[in-house]
Amino acid sequence: MYIRGTKSRLTYKKYISSIMKNVLVIGSTGQIGSELTMTLRKQITNGNVVAGYIPGAEPKGELLESGPAAIANVCDAKQLAEIVDKYEIDTIYNLAALLSAVAESKPLLAWDIQMNGLINILEIAREKKCAVFTPSSIGSFGPNTPRDNTPQDTIQRPKTMYGVTKVATELLSDYYFTKYGVDTRAVRFPGLISNVTLPGGGTTDYAVEIYYAAVKGEDFACPIQAGTFMDMMYMPDALKAAIDIMNADPSRLIHRNAFNVASMSFDPEIIKAAIQKYIPDFKMHYEFDPVRQAIADSWPNKMDDSCARNEWDWKPSYDLDSMTVDMIETLCKRFGKAE
């Protein structure tokens, strides 16, 4: 049993490692998992961070060499329970999901992974006393949600299968907390921009791909129309959110599943201009994708994240400009381009 919330902020570092000792990251080779696993391994020195993966998406390089790995298919409850027992797992990061656009083409698979997978994890967590983080998303909102300064507690009637599963994830996670005391906590991630592992099948992926195109000197075909604003976040802030919420003092938490977290909001024209400040020759044209556009049109422009700020001191570090500088520098080094 680990007690949260008894230490002051002065012992924060110690507090982190004394809470999360043995962690299972399900989906460790994905966009978030690949970076979260490595970050947790650097922070937790007295335990194991197990890289859970599915066959066909095996961990490689540093991710494979720096700690244990195990096949962890969310649809195989027995397999998950064995990993939890073997490594005495106390915290599960459940990052298995089909993103919004791909979930529209495979709705039953999305349901299976996101819902049947989740209930397997929650049942194991109930039995074996694990804390669970299963992210929600801006996709949990829908067309009749207030678009600007979207409140923490508001209408959530999404029109996508991704959104349906994310609202159900929030509800089921809260249910396991109130009914069984399972320590479930989460955030609603904006579109995540990163440079280690590419996302796949999301509506916000364009905001990652645009940097790769710019650094490679390609003309970017933007699938989202000008004027379409969405919340976005740089991966270092997303990792901070995912870790800080699990280390937060529970006595301060009024909400649990899941907190709005925000750091920047832009449309394609604004991110293009941010890149052109550093790569003046960068060119972009529009080849809009009706599936992604309809999804984007149903999501908020900008969330209000004051509950996260008040209840666990959430504060992002990056804005569009500082993220752009870091993305361009990192990708220039990767692709051997002069900055």
Angle at 200 between CA 175 and CA 246, to 5 degrees: 35
Q: Is 316 near ligand SER (CB under 6 A)? A: no
Q: How far is the CB of 248 from ligand SER (least distance, A)?
A: 22
Give the 3-state secondary structure of residue 91: strand
Residues carrying an active site annotation: 162
CA distance 128 to 122: 10
Q: Is 191 near ligand SER (CB under 6 A)? A: yes
Q: How far is the CB of 296 from ligand SER (least distance, A)?
A: 8
Q: How far is the CB of 290 from ligand SER (least distance, A)?
A: 15
Write the interaction track for ligand SER spanning residues 118-157; mark x where CB under 6 A is met and - where it is not: -------------------xxx------------------
Which tokens go with 129?
A: 């006393």
CA distance 162 to 176: 21
Which residues are registered as beta bridge partners of 221? 285
- C-alpha to C-alpha distances, 59 to 64, 67, 122, nearest whole angstrom: 5, 10, 25
Q: Which is nearer to ligand SER, 50 or 138 (CB)?
A: 138
Taking alpha carbons only, the member of 200, 208, 205, 207 closest to residue 106 is: 200
Q: Which is nearer to ligand SER, 27 or 139 (CB)?
A: 139
How many residues form the binding site for ligand SER (CB under 6 A)? 11
Q: How far is the CB of 167 from ligand SER (least distance, A)?
A: 13
List all residues 6 or more positions away from 241 whose beta carbon is below 8 Å from its beta carbon.
187, 189, 233, 261, 308, 314
Q: Which is nearer to ligand SER, 165 or 203 (CB)?
A: 203
Q: Is 265 near ligand SER (CB under 6 A)? A: no
Chain residues in the site for ligand SER (CB under 6 A):
99-100, 137-139, 162, 189, 191, 202-204
